[in-house]
Amino acid sequence: MDNNIENSNSDNKNLDNSNNNDNNSNSNNNNNKLFNLVVLIIAVAALCTSGANLVIMKKVMDNQKKQSNKRIERFDNEVKPGKIDKSDKSDKVGKPDIADDDKDAKDADDADDKDIQYVMYLGTNDKDTNKPVFDEDEAKEKAEEVLLEHFGGYTISDADGGWKDGDKIYTEYSLVIYLSDTDIESVHKAADELIKKFNQSSVLIQENETSTEFYEGK
């Protein structure tokens, strides 16, 4: 009888232990499931956050692309040749400056009309004796020969010059020579020959800017 009671108690203890083991096993399983669920929730939340960030980044990039396209379009409009922005009075790239073009054209036309006239004053008295080297007709003839050789033509006017040295007054027959369509180097070469021919210390040369026109009438 006692042995049966002890066996029964032993069986109850084993049953209790078995139940405890089952309970512990169920508890562990529940804990594992809860842990897995938490991990899953965290993973889903992270994925959702990442997806939201991707959407936001895509929107930002799209917005930047639109702004860049607008800037490019605005730049193309500003540099388009002949385009004039009436709201902006400042100079634009490609904006035609009609006033400057007209001014340049006018300056070019004026430059074509401009000419330098050289006027040479040639005395005919010898620098050493202060007496005429040639008489008036011969002096003009000698000067004409030099001018024809250097310029192929001439324009000469007669002139009488005079000056006072102390109490004495001197007079001199002079030639005024007008030269156009030439340059100062050519004038100097002709002057060198005239100075030697007329034995002068120097000749007076003037440069006058003029406008030249060969008018043929209407």
Place of tokens 């508890």: 27
- CB within 8 A of 175, min separation 6: which ones? 121, 122, 124, 139, 140, 143, 156, 157, 158, 159
Instruction: Fill in the amino acid letter for 87.
Output: S
pLDDT of 189 > 90? The answer is yes
- List the structure tokens of 186: 């050519």
Dist. CA 208–CA 178, nearest whole Å: 10
Instruction: Fill in the amino acid letter for 3.
Output: N
pLDDT of 85 > 60? The answer is no
Which pLDDT score, from 0 to 100, does residue 212 have?
A: 80
Place of tokens 């860049």: 68
Dist. CA 99–CA 126, nearest whole Å: 58
pTM, two decimals, is 0.49
